[in-house]
């Protein structure tokens, strides 16, 4: 497990925003989310949380995963993104410019599910997870995605690296890990061998 960020908070935000700006202006940079994974998570949600009313997806850039969840799950789904340009460059509704490390009082105890594939972009992963768990309603579920890419860093914005087992251990320190969903590469709409840790507060 490695947290490589050594700068201050304002520098951290600039680093994250700069990376997103580069990705959305390059063109042709594929979104990280995988529709097959979102579909599988959605099925799990509907099987375990009847009639979900609110979901929150963190670190969504242009909100592709928000739109994909809406294909499968009723209710309101919010996406958070630190970079305002990413939000303004798309037409996805309910995207909020917000640092996912920071508590939003309006969301505390309300979300039927919280999802992210962006824990590797947190400079304080334990605090981040505590914030996400606080957003869960009593029956709510947390979904944190992990691939081998979450254990390596190609740039300073990927400041947290850890193995799947270390992810699970970290999450279990703030929530009750219920199961781990596994999605095999090249099966359905899955591009990478992916694990999703499912937890409940």
Each of the 201 residues of the chain gets a pLDDT tens digit; together they read 766 556 677 887 787 777 777 777 765 445 677 899 999 999 999 999 989 999 999 999 888 899 999 999 999 999 999 888 877 877 788 999 999 999 999 999 999 999 999 999 898 999 999 999 999 999 999 999 999 888 877 777 778 889 999 999 999 999 999 999 999 987 777 878 999 999 998
CA distance 11 to 15: 6
**What is the model's pLDDT at position 30?**
57
Phi, psi of 94 (to 5 degrees): 65, 35
Phi, psi of 123 (to 5 degrees): -85, -15
Q: What are the residue ranges spanned by the domains of the chain?
A: 2-200
Nearest to 149 by CA among 165, 160, 141, 140: 160
CA distance 77 to 54: 6
**What is the model's pLDDT at position 27?**
58
Question: How distant is the alpha carbon of residue 107 from its chain centre?
Answer: 16
CA distance 173 to 160: 17
**What is the model's pLDDT at position 28?**
46
Tokens matching residue 81? 């993104």
CA distance 108 to 136: 7
Looking at domain 2-200, its CATH architecture is 3-Layer(aba) Sandwich (3.40)
- Give the single-character DSSP code of 196: E
**What is the model's pLDDT at position 19?**
76
């Amino acid at each position: 497990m490695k947290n490589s960020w050594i700068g201050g908070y304002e520098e951290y935000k600039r680093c994250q925003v700069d990376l997103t700006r580069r990705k959305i202006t390059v063109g042709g940079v594929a979104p990280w989310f995988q529709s097959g994974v979102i579909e599988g998570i959605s099925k799990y949600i509907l099987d375990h949380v009847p009639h979900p009313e609110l979901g929150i997806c963190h670190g969504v850039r242009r909100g592709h995963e928000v739109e994909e969840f809406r294909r499968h799950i009723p209710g309101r789904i919010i996406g958070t993104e630190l970079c305002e340009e990413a939000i303004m460059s798309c037409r996805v509704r309910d995207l909020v410019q917000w640092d996912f490390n920071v508590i939003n009082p309006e969301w505390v105890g309300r979300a039927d599910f919280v999802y992210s594939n962006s824990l590797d972009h947190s400079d304080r992963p334990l605090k981040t997870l505590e914030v996400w768990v606080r957003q869960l309603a009593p029956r709510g579920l947390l979904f944190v995605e992990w691939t081998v890419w979450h254990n390596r860093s190609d740039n300073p914005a990927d400041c947290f690296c850890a193995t799947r087992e270390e992810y699970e251990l970290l999450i279990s320190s703030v929530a009750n890990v219920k199961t781990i969903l596994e999605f095999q590469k090249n099966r359905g709409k899955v591009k990478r061998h992916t694990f999703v840790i499912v937890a409940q507060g």
